[in-house]
Amino acid sequence: MEKIIAIQGVECSYHHMVSHAYFGKNNQIKPCLSFDVLADSLAKKESDFAVMAIENSIAGSIIPNYAIIGANEFKIVGEHYLDIQHQFMVLPGQDISEINEVHSHPMALLQCKVFLKKYPHIKLVEAEDTAVVAQRIKEKNLKGIAAIAGKLAAETYGLEVLAESIQTIKHNQTRFVILSNQENLNAENTNKASLKFELDHKRGSLATVLNVMSDCKLDLTKIQSLPKIETPWRYSFFVDVTFQDKADFDKAQKLIQLMATHYKVLGIYKQAEL
């Protein structure tokens, strides 16, 4: 049955590539030019699932997206790692000395800092998406402006790649989560969970929770704190753990719930391959 998948960006964006890799190509894509629009689409049930970047191996966590997941109480039902290869692309027939501006998503610009420093004459301009810039350059015939996007965008919009794989660290991966309004109905072979909770301001409170996870044979793969805007100097913790036996996770849950407040399981799903 065809699904409606909300993605941040347009066709040929990295989110689109993840959607194809995770769900296959026989689904309907709903482009969203911001993560807030993506969240609205899923919350209003205009989409069945949403693909959302959550962290990058170079630039780190995308903090606002943790807040979006928590505020909307979305469920994480899967994840996917994508090797990000950024290309510097322009309308054909131009030299890099003729380029005055480069437009791309701020995360992409950050990941290509070392390359871009070689060309101080080029102004960096933040955009809402990588592939949408490539599309805009093609449709408006914009000379003197480059895009940083994936190779698929260059091929689709007929742009020339002047420099390949310009990201500072060549092994550059982004982790994407698959979001739904419902819990994962395919509970078989799950071995990873995402949690959210709060702790009182007591010495060693976080260390105690982490010790419980260790004692219950959980492997902590991610911990991210996020300030509670309405309550200064209090934080929510977003935690990812993996487990070999679901019974170990269930045991840890019972103990953590006694120590933490506002405890929520954001999702239980299968760990993606790196």
DSSP 82-103: EE---EEEESTT--GGG--EEE
- Tens-digit pLDDT profile for residues 112-147: 999 999 999 999 999 989 999 999 999 999 999 999
Rounded Cα distance, 204 and 243, in Å: 24
- Tens-digit pLDDT profile for residues 3-52: 999 999 998 999 999 999 999 999 999 999 899 999 999 999 999 999 99
pLDDT category at 229 given cuts 50, 70, 90 is confident
pLDDT category at 60 given cuts 50, 70, 90 is confident
Assess whether pLDDT exceeds 80 at residue 157. Answer: yes
What integer is the mean pLDDT of 190-202?
A: 91
Q: How much of the chain exceeds pLDDT 70, in percent?
A: 99
pLDDT category at 188 given cuts 50, 70, 90 is confident
- CA torsion sign for 70, 73, 79, 81 is negative
What integer is the mean pLDDT of 209-231?
A: 92
- Tens-digit pLDDT profile for residues 66-115: 999 999 999 999 999 999 999 999 999 999 999 999 999 998 999 999 99
What residue spans in the chain does CATH classification 3.40.190.10 cover? Answer: 4-82+172-180, 87-163
> What residues contact residue 142 under an 8 Å CB cut-off, 6+ apart?
91, 136
What residue spans in the chain does CATH classification 3.30.70.260 cover? Answer: 193-268
pLDDT of residue 232: 77
Assess whether pLDDT exceeds 80 at residue 233. Answer: no
Pick the CATH number of 87-163 from 1.10.3720.10, 1.10.645.10, 3.40.190.10, 1.10.10.10: 3.40.190.10
Q: What CATH number belongs to 4-82+172-180?
A: 3.40.190.10
Assess whether pLDDT exceeds 70 at residue 187. Answer: no
List C-alpha distances in Å: 34 to 48, 53, 194: 17, 12, 23
- Average pLDDT value for the chain: 94
pLDDT of residue 121: 96
Burial of 59: CB neighbours in 10 Å, binned 0-12, 13-18, 19+ = middle
**Fold annotation for 193-268:** Alpha-Beta Plaits (3.30.70)
Which of the 8 DSSP states describes residue 192?
A: E
Classify strands 4-8 and 28-32 as parallel, antiparallel or unpaired. Answer: parallel
Tokens of 166: 């310009």
- Asked if 146 and 102 count as a contact pair (C-beta separation under 8 A), the reply is yes
Report the candidate in 26, 12, 69, 59 with the shortest Cα–Cα distance to residue 175. Answer: 59
Assess whether pLDDT exceeds 70 at residue 243. Answer: yes
What is the DSSP code string of 34-99? SHHHHHHHHHTTS-SEEEEEEEETTTEE-HHHHHHHHHHT-EEEEEEEEE---EEEESTT--GGG-
What integer is the mean pLDDT of 204-214?
A: 94
